[in-house]
Amino acid sequence: MIASFVGAAITELERLNPGIDPAELQIGQQICLPPERFCPSGVFWQVAPGDTLYTIARSTGTTLEKLLELNPYTDPFKLLPGQTICLPG
């Protein structure tokens, strides 16, 4: 069901989540999803240490609200260095 929701092949999700048994997913378990499936602009920002959605919005000339809209699965309080987020085009 997750694969069809995000428009990805099951094999793609398995590749992004090695060691996770798709038949044994638990409520609240986090999995990696292909970021390009959720970014209509195709423009990404790679999070650096110290980045917040607010500072990224200011640096890129957009709003915090737009970043939250484009990244509905991103926890704004738990950004990780190396994580990619979608930017408006």
Q: Are residues 62 and 41 in the same domain?
A: yes
Q: Are residues 61 and 23 in the same domain?
A: no
Mean pLDDT computed over 74-83? 86
Q: Are residues 39 and 27 in the same domain?
A: no
Q: Are residues 45 and 72 in the same domain?
A: yes
Mean pLDDT computed over 33-40? 70
Mean pLDDT computed over 47-61? 95
Is the pLDDT score of 89 beyond 60? Answer: yes
Q: Are residues 25 and 44 in the same domain?
A: no
Beta strand extents in the chain (DSSP E only): 43-46, 84-87
Q: Which domain holds residue 16?
A: 1-33
Angle at 16 between CA 81 and CA 87, to 5 degrees: 45
Q: Are residues 68 and 84 in the same domain?
A: yes
